Structure 1
Amino acid sequence: MIFRTAAALFAILALVCAAVRADETPPPIGQDPMAQRYALGHGLPLGDTGFTLGGYAEAGYANPRGADNGRVAVDALSAFLWWDGGGRWRFFSETELSEPLRWGEGGVRTGDADLISERLYVDYAWRDALKFRAGKFLTPVGRWNLRHAAPLTWTTSRPLITEATFPTNATGAMAYGVLPLTPAGIEYSLYVSPGKELFRRDDLDTFTEAYGLRLSTPLWPTFDVGLSWVSFEQTSNREIRKQLLGVDAQWLLGRAEISGEFTYRELKGGASAGDESGWYLQAVLPLVGDWFAIGRNEGFHQRGAARDLSLWLGGVAWRPNPAFVIKAEYGHAVENAARLPEGFRASIAVLF
């Protein structure tokens, strides 16, 4: 029953979403003028106010390894609201309703829904080389965390090191921009998070203090590299000071893509002192038409663990345009002390 429900849900969403292309011509004259200004993935301008409304939705099916039955869920409904008046000031917010609906052995559940503020900040652009941001933003560590939205990633699950080694959001201030030190420029983000997180969730181990730096630049037109560093303390144990150093890269080969991240984390403070490290390497290869094959291997050396974790993942994705994707994958882990998702997972995501 759960499989038939999942198949029906995915079929309906696929037909509805795939019918809307990012390069469609506008609706005929005489229809809603607001609709004529809308293109999938670019948001809906709200009249002449300077505000634009967008977001994304994700629905998924998961059948964990060893489980008798799977589950279908609307995993996320996320709303973006941003303002650009054409001057130096800009505003952006992202509010997510996490898992508002789930079907499983016990029937339909809605009690797990959680309203989350992912981002809420104001920007001031003084120069291309120096801009300022204040509020709640995505922590500038690596690549995956900065483009975490489901329609923009190739797999339903995200690598362990992109969410378990540092808080994914920070509240504070940031200076960022592009420094003209090389022909392609060097992008930088210098940030500080001095206290409590804005709209903090009780189930997340957020920053209590953090400061960090991220640099990225193309070494050549299709090969980008990045370097991240952050020193921080978290809510669960303020006596432990953590230093994280990360390296990331992305290489585009036509429609193919190779990307990866490596992080090294040092913990200082009493019995918790020690080092941890992790990495992932992911390859995306074009198949036929809009179909792609995805392979990923990730590993993690956890403090106190007898053996290092290793996860192998293989899957496919259908991406008819940049704003819409259907994904299916299977993961198998060795020494899975971190309890990474294993088994079969699939999802459909659309960027509005």
Structure 2
Amino acid sequence: MAVALAASLACAPAIAQDRLDRLELEIEGLKKENVELKERVESIEAADEETTHSLGVLSRLVDVSGYADVEYRLTDKDGENGGFRLHHLSLFFTKDIQKEWKLFTEVEFEDAPVLDYTNDTLNRGDGVFFVEQMYIEYHPSLSWDLRFGRFLTPAGIWSIYHYPPYVPTQSPPLFTRLIFPEVSDGALLRNSFVLHDTAIDTHLFASNGSGNPGSLDMNTNTAVGARANAALTHGLSAGASYFREKDNSDVMKNSFALHLLADYGPFNLQSEYAYRHNDPDGGASYNDKGWYAQLAYDAGKWTLAARLDWYDTDDTAPINDIYRYTGAINYHFAHNVVGKLEYDRNEFDDPARQDYNEVIFAIVVAIGDL
């Protein structure tokens, strides 16, 4: 036993040295792999830098979202035929430039626009190509932000929340985009605060006014407007809107609106009233006004909706009232794919205008987060 112990002790240094040698070899192998990995990473970074330099802005990430809808319409309106309509392709581009700065753009293609030029001659022009929104946003706080550029005119509900994937009808209320302009080019301040346990959202803005393109204000007057919305209780909110301008025809316009939104279980009630006083320079003043109420019911993948519309284009005559009765059925194939069936009955007090009916079948998809 003593001989075996002595032999063991004699071999121990050799075994230890062998283990050290193997560890050194493994460390050398790891160092070599590390050098090779570093060279590969540097090669990839160099390739990325070259690609970034070549592609410039396009190589940087931009969030893209939007929506599209295709319709088939049937109508008995005089002078019109039914058929397919490539109604909207609307693309949103969002880029966080810095922590407190963002660029947002919405570009809309309506009715599959075609522009065909030969030199300076327009051979064919169909559809609508429209930069609906383009603004630079400064948001130093969650409670307020500033927008500079083109934005949706903040008025009521439908003017802001109207995207086809999230509303039950394809047709908007009659007075939408008439009493208040669709978009405004200018500056917008948004502010949210709590007053006596009530959350209040406000909009204050100044703009060129309606009818002015993004490069030119064709009058010397600045339009101003405001909107406020209060969350009164859970599922119930209400608010008011105002807009004032002197347009390019020297008509002083003052627009007012009230809105109400109520959610109760599967039911949703939405209503707006809008009124505009028009005072032409040297002419007789008149008012145009409108109202609608829409009730929707959600049952799983189904949504049922009904809406009553009224719009008076000029209250100085008793025959200028227009009415629309709408019923709609939606089926949500997915959270971002919806099929719609809509019926509209349009009636006129003016005996010179013929009442008509319209049926709309539509497929609507949303791309990303709107």
Tell me if the contact between 1:170 and 1:197 (Cα under 8 Å) persists in the aligned partners.
Answer: no
Following superposition of structure 1 onto structure 2, how do residues 1-352 of structure 1 map, counting pairs within 5 Å?
49=60, 51-66=62-77, 69-84=81-96, 87-100=99-112, 111-194=125-208, 196-198=212-214, 209-235=222-248, 237=249, 239-269=250-280, 270-287=282-299, 289-303=300-314, 304-307=316-319, 308-335=321-348, 342-352=357-367
Counterpart Cα distance in 2 of 1:95 and 1:324:
21
Change (3 A) 1:325 1:339: farther
Superposed CA RMSD: 2.9
The alignment of Structure 1 onto Structure 2 pairs a total of residues equal to 293
Relative to its length, the structure with more helix (as a share) is 2
TM superposition score normalised by structure 1: 0.76
Secondary structure at 1:164 match in 2: coil
Change (3 A) 1:254 1:321: farther
Name the larger-Rg structure. Answer: 2
Change (3 A) 1:322 1:142: farther
Unaligned 5+ segments in structure 2 are: 1-56, 115-123
Tell me if the contact between 2:330 and 2:340 (Cα under 8 Å) persists in the aligned partners.
Answer: yes
Counterpart Cα distance in 2 of 1:49 and 1:339:
54
Tell me if the contact between 1:58 and 1:347 (Cα under 8 Å) persists in the aligned partners.
Answer: yes
Change (3 A) 1:334 1:73: closer
* Greater relative contact order (CA < 8 Å, ≥ 6 in sequence): 1
Change (3 A) 1:272 1:75: farther
Counterpart of 1:323 in structure 2: which amino acid? N
Deviation digits for residues 158-196 of structure 1, max 9, x if unmatched?
001212222100000011120232424210110000364
Change (3 A) 1:212 1:124: same
Secondary structure at 2:180 match in 1: coil
Give the share of equivalent positions with the same residue, in percent: 24
Change (3 A) 1:66 1:113: closer
Counterpart Cα distance in 2 of 1:155 and 1:71:
18
Structure 1 residue 111: deviation in Å? 4.7
After superposing the two structures, state which structure 1 stretch, 257-266 or 332-341, moved more.
Answer: 332-341
Unaligned 5+ segments in structure 1 are: 1-45, 103-109
Tell me if the contact between 1:209 and 1:234 (Cα under 8 Å) persists in the aligned partners.
Answer: no
Structure 1 residue 206: deviation in Å? 11
Q: Which residue of 1 aligns with 2:121?
A: none
Tell me if the contact between 1:157 and 1:341 (Cα under 8 Å) persists in the aligned partners.
Answer: no
